[in-house]
Amino acid sequence: MNVALIGSGSWGTAVAGLAAARAERVTMWAHGKQTAAGINGEHRNPRYLVDYVLPENVVATTDLAQALDGAEAIIFAVPSTHLRSVCHQAAPFIAAGTPVLCLTKGIEPESGLLMSEVIASEIGNESRVAALSGPNHAEEICRGGLSAAVIASEDPQIGETFKDLLLSTAFRIYLSQDMTGVEVCGAMKNVIAIVCGISAGSGAGDNTLALIMTRGLAEISRLVHARGGHAMTCMGLAGMGDLIATCTSEHSRNRTFGYEFAHGVSLDEYQTRTHMVVEGAVAARSVSELARSLGVDIPLTFAVEQTLYNGVTLDRALEILTDRVPSQEFYGLTD
């Protein structure tokens, strides 16, 4: 199988290595010429995971048409803020029946669409689009550390196609048909990780971390339920699994940003220095929009939105949260 991997960030680079073990060729699309040249010349991404040596059957190009030429499977791994525009440019070069896997996590502002829905709206045939999510730090995947993910798809055969492509002894893959649940979990856990980072940066302890993660999972479950997904999905790899990894790991850019934000570093400063998009910051706004449209209460996410975009101080955001009177633990969910 020839695979096109659209994106050349850290996660896309790691997944290119996974796919290369079973594919004849993996062609990565990179936005920058320097990145493509590094992958082709030295089998390394000069910007992300710089010590990781890619397999020889991984090549790169800055030409979308060339990357997609002859592709029998396509994987999108670009930031949520650029996904629609890249899909729009790629659409003329994608055959109607080619299976597509989405690695991007987020919810589109204003439309409230999940990332798989953004892809489908640009390339058509939504039933051939799957989504992968789980507790997967690219740095550990590259070292062959034992990890697992869930692939969600409406068509079980599409899920099987990508499971066969990416499965290994070290990378376990489970299947689901709950696209909504898997993708909402993937978007919201990044927001909760920012809160955990702020908490750690402010000197809070383990009790507070456990409180944030548990109440964060509750609000993720409420939005999944309201959006038509299954709350049980939040107990799995895409929910609790990814939440643990993202909220506690030194590899998590969302947690790390939250930690630095608590010490006065702005979002723009952090993203400029790291050359990485803080997906949780983007999701804080779009997830809040979606929750309000559905009448769902997600106080931690609302607090992140207020501090990042509406000038509310961290002290004031904490005051608003702690002034709330606790109610039923699982309010907003039905059995």
Domain check: are 82 and 137 in the same one? yes
181 pLDDT band (50/70/90 cuts)?
Answer: very high
Residue, of 327 and 84, whose pLDDT is higher = 84
Domain check: are 166 and 198 in the same one? no
Domain check: are 232 and 149 in the same one? no
288 pLDDT band (50/70/90 cuts)?
Answer: very high
How much is the average pLDDT of 25-44?
Answer: 96
Catalytic machinery residues: 189
Domain check: are 199 and 88 in the same one? no
Fill in the amino acid letter for 110: E
How much is the pLDDT for 48? 92
What residue numbers bound the domain in which 135 lies? Answer: 2-177
Domain check: are 232 and 304 in the same one? yes
Q: What is the CATH number of the domain that holds 233?
A: 1.10.1040.10
What is the rounded distance in angstroms from the CA atom of residue 132 to the CA atom of residue 62?
24
Q: Pull the structure tokens for residue 149.
A: 């993910």
Domain check: are 173 and 192 in the same one? no
| Sign of the CA dihedral running 306, 307, 311, 313 | positive
Domain check: are 147 and 40 in the same one? yes
In a domain, 34, yes or no: yes
In a domain, 305, yes or no: yes
* Residues above pLDDT 90, as percent of the chain: 90
Domain check: are 158 and 216 in the same one? no
In a domain, 329, yes or no: no
How much is the pLDDT for 306? 96
Domain check: are 193 and 171 in the same one? no
Range with the lowest mean pLDDT among 169-173, 180-184, 319-323? 319-323
CB count in 10 Å sphere of residue 205: 9
Domain check: are 121 and 244 in the same one? no
What is the rounded distance in angstroms from the CA atom of residue 127 to the CA atom of residue 326?
41
236-263 pLDDT per residue, tens: 999 999 999 999 998 899 999 999 999 9
How much is the pLDDT for 332? 84
Residue, of 28 and 335, whose pLDDT is higher = 28
CB count in 10 Å sphere of residue 113: 19
Domain check: are 301 and 283 in the same one? yes
Domain count, the chain: 2
Domain check: are 32 and 168 in the same one? yes
Is residue 335 scored above 60 in pLDDT? Answer: no
Q: Pull the structure tokens for residue 299.
A: 């106080």
How much is the pLDDT for 190? 94
Pairing of strands 73-76, 171-176: unpaired
How much is the average pLDDT of 179-208?
Answer: 96
197-230 pLDDT per residue, tens: 999 999 999 999 999 999 999 999 999 999 999 9
Q: What is the CATH number of the domain that holds 95?
A: 3.40.50.720
**Residue 263 CB-density burial (10 A; 0-12 exposed, 13-18 middle, 19+ buried):** exposed
